[in-house]
Amino acid sequence: MDAPPPTTLGAVPHGHPTAADGPLDAAARFAAARALRHRPLSAAVGAVDLDDGRTVVVKRGDGPDAVRAEAAGLRWLARAGAVPVPAVHGHDERWLVTDRVPDGRPSPQGALRLGRELAALHAAGAPAFGVPPPGGPREASIGRAPLRNVPGDDWPAWYAEHRVLPYLRTALDDGTLRPREAAELERLCARLPGLAGPAERPARLHGDLWNGNVLWDAGGRAWLIDPAAHGGHRETDLAMLHLFGCPHLDRVLDGYQEGAPLADGWRERTGLHQLFPLLVHAVLFGRPYAEQALAVARAAG
């Protein structure tokens, strides 16, 4: 779909918010420059051209915790010095202002580099599974679904309690899952300690790593946006890339294996890590994703 036409709502000087407090004002305040023009990119995201030649991205959050979580996640990922993420210029309870990634196309070389950089990002680690980024809220979100960042020391138990079962119960209550199907998934959760593979240290995860959150710049290098960052299992990010598709995924995995080889059996465990995003999608979008969650659960278990 073509982007909406650009709008010029009156150039807004830095430090002088308007009553409407729109994207131009947010860009001016946080990027410390005069905002000239706003070009919507989606319902909640726009590009703002500044008078110093820069272009920033302004995103409207669903609430103060959503904006704070995304800003904290971007900064936490950036501190790893691994995968590039847009710099955060600032945020308030409604708006997040970041750098814009120059438009480009994916390349095999960029995908190989992404794999190596993801390995380095994950190796930067986290204090525990489920821990939020420094400054990030415990009650966050993934898309429009709630996401609780509750720390835990044992990945299978934490994953079942805080990533699979909450969405399973919501899908059951909504009628998206049938009782016997929910019981089947609950039995799989009880068996997770024997299915999860060797114990892993908590990794620093992007947390919502589908293809739409990977941008490719003019040089073919991958950047990550819109994280639901937390401490987790490193196979989870890779499973989400596989679930929703990623250009040159085989090269991404080659690069990852070069940087930090995965434990034996990781391919067979992919479905376990896909249960979480599939159940989130079942809650948000309905029955087809519930059926897909059941299919991958049966294959994994």
Supply the residues annotated as catalytic: 208
Cα(252)–Cα(169) distance, integer angstroms: 34
Residues 6+ apart with CB under 8 A from 238: 118, 209, 252, 253, 256, 262, 266, 270, 273
Cα(4)–Cα(24) distance, integer angstroms: 16
Q: Evaluate whether 164 touches 232 at the Cβ level (below 8 Å).
A: no
- CB neighbourhood size of 220 (10 A): 17
Cα(132)–Cα(76) distance, integer angstroms: 10
E strands within 112-181?
A: 139-142, 145-148
> What is the DSSP pairing of strand 203-205 with strand 145-148?
unpaired
Partners of 147 in beta bridges: 140
Q: Alpha helix locations (H) across 198-286?
A: 234-244, 249-259, 266-285
User: What Å distances lie between residue 135 and 79, 138, 227, CA to CA?
Assistant: 13, 10, 14
Give the dihedral of Cα atoms 164, 167, 173, 177; nearest 10 deg: -70
Comparing CA positions, the residue from 85, 231, 260 lying closest to residue 158 is 231
Cα(7)–Cα(39) distance, integer angstroms: 6
